Amino acid sequence: MTTSSEDVLLQVSNVRHKKGDGTLYVMSERIGFMTNNSDTMSSCYAYTDVKMQKISSEQKQKVQLQLVFHSGESVIFQFVCPSRSDSVTNRDAVKGYLTKLLPKFQKKVNKELEEKNRMLSSNAALFQLYRDLVITKIVDAEEFWSQHAPAYINKNGASQQQIGVPGNFLVNVKPQTDGCNAIKYNLTADTIECIFRTYPAVRQKHLEYVPHKLSESEFWVKFFQSHYFHKDRMHTGTKDLFSECAKHDDQELKKELSTVEQCEVNLNAFDNTVENEGYGLDSTEASTGSNNIVSENLIKRFNHHSIMVLKATRNNTEQLETESGSARKKIRLLNEDESCELGDGETKKIEKTNINLSKVEQMINGVKNPKTKVRNLHAILHKANSMRDKVCYDILHYRKPPGTTYLTPSAAVSALGELTPGGLLMNGLLEDSQSLAQLVPSDIEKEFRSLYLTICELLRHFWACFPPTTPTLEEKLVRMYDALRKFHQTKLNTFENRIMVECSTLNQQLTAHLNLILNTAYEKYNNWQSKRKFPAGVPIN
Amino acid sequence: MNEDTDSESSLLVVIFDTSLTQDVIINEEIKLSECLEIIITFVNSHLMLKSNNKIAMITCDSKNCQFIYPDSTNEPGQLRQTDGQYELFTHVEKTIRKNVQQFLVKTLEGEIGHHDSLFGAACSIALCYINRLENEKSLGDKMNSRILIITGCGNSGDQYIPCMNTFFTAQKQNVTIDVCSLQNEITLLQQACDITNGVFLKLPQLSSLLQYLLWVFLPDPTVRKKLVVPPPVSVDYRPFCFCHHELIDIGFVCSVCLAIYCKLSPICTTCEVVFKLKAPMKPIKVKKKKMIKS
């Protein structure tokens, strides 16, 4: 009974235990004692129960080893070899084994404790229960963990959620041609699972045919070859394994259609034709009829596929709920869509699958971050503590001495400078031409407009002189240049000065472009002049 | 004209961060009491703009937040004016002082922690208050509500998720959130301003706090359109990850519960869904979080 097939690590004879002489067996998980003239273990102690081992001191006559258990009890083994030195070596051997073995088991115990601790700290309700029942000693700790806790732990475990079916799972099959007429499909366990979940009819077929009539691979070959899988479904041939499935699908689709509330989407109204074509005079339907059937079929397939994918997720949760035996709780939320509110006031109920969050706290708050990255945190906290009293006093008893200001005029002016266009805080505003336009007073704007008009007129004449091939053109060019210069000095410069005085914030912004076009003209003129001074053999006059 | 404007009022809710561990307070760049004085001046200016303007004030720190004004136990009219000041202003000032001091004394009892201030909680209180007033107001009245957060806190994401939730609520409720940051560019609050069409202003200098408040934050959001105000700052739209509260460029989003992680893990720790990874450590089921352009 107590003997087992465990490996015996050490066997020590001449041991006295509970007033009987016998042999001590050190095994991998337990320590056992067998009295002489017997072939069963008279006593056996698991290491998991052992808290620690003690040995008798060197001075004592008896050579003993004591095991202390977690329960507080203890047992003593006495080594009774004829010579004392033998006993000591025997005992030391046992001791050596035990010192190696015991920590392993203690760790195991600690791990269990840690696990329990973790569970308690992560589950507030369980912790409350633990405090109410165990700490008050209403229930034994053992009993608590075996009887009461699983309900809570399982509640957590049952929230195992499945990821939904991705809508594109059929794309993952990725057919590959090998150059000949054969096509290779890559099917993984995941994809098969997805197909089953989305198309229960196929699963049904699979159950019927595999492995009695077809092998697994044959089944899938047939599946991919069948019209059922392909774009244009034609279930005329009754030979096809999946023609039934297709019919089943059609029925499903009709059923789904009938459940769709007309108030939301009028599915019948979805037609692939445009009403306005031909101004509604002639019907285009007849001409495109054959086309429509193909595309209609395709659209139907896509819709069906989407419906099935969505249903797969829904079925899944329902299944879970019925499995667990709990009453099916449907979360019904009132549809707060405007479309319903505007309708006849009938509230439509929508079934929603909810997410099982194992840690709601984490969803709301994120993981608690224990570490703060601030250096000299202590200094800061200390200072904050020391400041507290003074601040409190200040706030309640602060009496404004007359003349105290919270805003000095200079600070206010500098703040205003930053807040007016062109200031530090108004970056990015100046590029906005609209705001620039708003800033210009109307009289300046008028003058500016006329400036532009004149300068543009002068420039037009100036540029018209290029290339100056005739003497009259050259003469005109020089005249225009002079006019531009003169205008620049008398009108533009005075205008610029006026802006500087009246709206300093605009600065050079306003006239920047005018200056640019004038300078371009001057540059052109100077270039021409320098060429004229060193003529390349072209005589003037 | 008068009939038109009289039915329109403006509610300003000031959220004042009184956390003593803010850098500006610790480094004594500005005194908390001084700051409070300035805020009182500011809210009084708001009341002065129109007789049916309303104010509310909430203080928060890293552990608590509390409603400061209006105080139900202390109705206006009980105080007599002392120095010729308008009674309402005296009342506002006295109530705010008393309650802020009480709030600070309350925090005196506990240890000061170094965490982010509870803007999410404070905003929730503000939104509840706004909602109540919206329900109580008589038909035909119009109330523009907004929240102004004044803080000197740092840029960390301890409160990312609760805060973002309240900010989106504010957006739905049509409540503008303005932020006056005394020191840092606070990513979280910048996002708050951006989604609610508020103004985020980081002060270049603390000495002219009142000027900035009066200039930028006193006008109603409806009026602001007609004024030349600082243009919106470019917002850092990176999210904080759930696991380490750090700003991330590329994150991994759980397809079931939408939790954001900075590292790919086969099990979502929030909803415990197990992802099927076809190749070891290759993100297939996990979508990459797109960066939203500002």
B61-85 confidence digits (pLDDT tens): 888 889 998 887 766 666 666 677 7
With b for 16 or more beta-carbon neighbours within 10 A and e for fewer, the A42-68 pattern comes to eebeebbebeebebbeeeeeebbbebe
Q: Do A396 and B255 touch (CB under 8 A)?
A: no
Over the stretch A295-325, which tens digit does the pLDDT of each residue have? 777 787 788 778 877 777 665 544 444 433 3
Instruction: State the total domains in chain A.
Output: 4
Q: Considering only A240-254, B51-65, B195-209, which range has the smallest mean pLDDT?
A: A240-254
Q: Please tell me which residue of chain A has the smallest CA distance to B104.
A: A392
Please report whether residue A200 resides in a domain.
yes
Please report whether residue A281 resides in a domain.
no
User: According to the model, what pLDDT value does residue A376 have?
Assistant: 67
User: According to the model, what pLDDT value does residue B42 have?
Assistant: 94
User: According to the model, what pLDDT value does residue A200 have?
Assistant: 77
More confident residue, A466 or A358: A466
More confident residue, A536 or A219: A219
Please report whether residue A377 resides in a domain.
no
Q: In the predicted model, what is the mean pLDDT of residues A257-284? A: 52
B286 and B163 in a single domain? The answer is: no
Q: In the predicted model, what is the mean pLDDT of residues A492-499? A: 84
Q: Do A366 and B115 touch (CB under 8 A)?
A: no
A130 and A73 in a single domain? The answer is: no
Inform me whether the pLDDT recorded for B94 exceeds 60: yes
A88 and A188 in a single domain? The answer is: no
B-chain residues near A168 (CB < 8 A):
none
Tell me the residue ranges of DSSP E strands in A346-502: 349-352
CA distance, residue A192 to nearest chain B CA (Å): 14
A215 and A139 in a single domain? The answer is: no
Please report whether residue B66 resides in a domain.
yes
> What's the domain range around A71?
8-119
Over the stretch B154-166, which tens digit does the pLDDT of each residue have? 877 777 888 888 9
| ipTM, interface predicted TM-score of the complex | 0.75
Over the stretch B229-268, which tens digit does the pLDDT of each residue have? 888 777 888 888 888 778 888 888 888 888 888 888 888 8
A113 and A137 in a single domain? The answer is: no
Q: Is the peptide bond before B70 cis (omega within 30 degrees of 0)?
A: yes
Q: Do A398 and B33 touch (CB under 8 A)?
A: yes
CB neighbour class for A399 (10 Å; exposed up to 12, middle 13-18, buried from 19): exposed
Q: Is the peptide bond before A467 cis (omega within 30 degrees of 0)?
A: yes
Q: In the predicted model, what is the mean pLDDT of residues B9-27? A: 87
Q: Which of residues 241-260 of B touch A (CB under 8 A)?
A: 242-245, 255-257, 259
Q: Do B216 and A419 touch (CB under 8 A)?
A: yes
A205 and A110 in a single domain? The answer is: no
Tokens of A243: 């023609």
Q: Please tell me which residue of chain B has the smallest CA distance to A383.
A: B26
Over the stretch B137-149, which tens digit does the pLDDT of each residue have? 888 888 889 999 9
Give the amino acid at B54: K
Q: What residue spans of A158-242 are helical by DSSP H?
A: 189-198, 200-209, 216-225
B79 and B198 in a single domain? The answer is: yes
Asked if B112 reaches chain A (Cβ–Cβ under 8 Å), the answer is yes
User: According to the model, what pLDDT value does residue A13 have?
Assistant: 82
Distance, in Å, from the CA atom of A455 to the CA atom of A459, rounded to the nearest integer, reads 6
Tokens of B196: 């609610």
Instruction: Classify A103 as helix, strand or coil.
Output: helix
Half-sphere exposure of A248 (CA within 13 A, CB side): 14
User: According to the model, what pLDDT value does residue A355 have?
Assistant: 65
Inform me whether the pLDDT recorded for B112 exceeds 70: no
User: According to the model, what pLDDT value does residue B238 have?
Assistant: 83
Q: Considering only A331-335, A370-374, A409-413, B52-56, which range has the smallest mean pLDDT?
A: A331-335
B289: Cβ contacts below 8 Å, ≥ 6 apart:
B239, B248, B250, B251, B252, B253, B260
CA distance, residue B273 to nearest chain A CA (Å): 5
Inform me whether the pLDDT recorded for A461 exceeds 50: yes
B150 and B287 in a single domain? The answer is: no
B245 and B220 in a single domain? The answer is: no
User: According to the model, what pLDDT value does residue A336 have?
Assistant: 37
Asked if B108 reaches chain A (Cβ–Cβ under 8 Å), the answer is yes
Phi, psi of A479 (to 5 degrees): -65, -45
With b for 16 or more beta-carbon neighbours within 10 A and e for fewer, the B139-174 pattern comes to eeeebbbbbbbbbbbbbbbbbbbbbbebbeebbeee
> Which among A143-152, A214-223, A250-259, B255-264 has the top mean pLDDT?
B255-264
- CATH code for position B24: 3.40.50.410
Q: Which of A358, A380, A396 sits opposite B272 (nearest CB)?
A: A358
A68 and A140 in a single domain? The answer is: no
Half-sphere exposure of A174 (CA within 13 A, CB side): 3
Q: In what order do the strands lie in the sheet with B200-202?
A: B65-69, B54-60, B8-17, B142-151, B176-181, B200-202
**Contact between residue B195 and residue B234 where contact means Cβ atoms under 8 Å apart:** no
> What's the domain range around B128?
2-224
User: According to the model, what pLDDT value does residue A332 have?
Assistant: 34
Q: Which of residues 20-79 of B touch A (CB under 8 A)?
A: 20-21, 25-26, 31-34, 36-38, 41
- In this prediction, what percent of chain A has a pLDDT beyond 70? 66
Inform me whether the pLDDT recorded for B131 exceeds 90: yes
pLDDT category of residue B289 using cuts at 50, 70 and 90: very low
B72 and B122 in a single domain? The answer is: yes
Q: Supply the mean pLDDT for chain A.
A: 71
More confident residue, B90 or A155: B90
Please report whether residue A364 resides in a domain.
no
DSSP A450-483: HHHHHHHHHHHHHHHT-S--SHHHHHHHHHHHHH
Tokens of B88: 């309402």
| DSSP secondary structure code for residue B267 in this structure | B
More confident residue, A467 or B110: A467
Selected for mutation to probe chain B from A381, A425, A433 (highest B CB count within 10 Å) is A425
Q: Are strands B287-288 and B54-60 parallel, antiparallel or unpaired?
A: unpaired
Q: Please tell me which residue of chain A has the smallest CA distance to B243.
A: A367
Instruction: State the total domains in chain B.
Output: 2
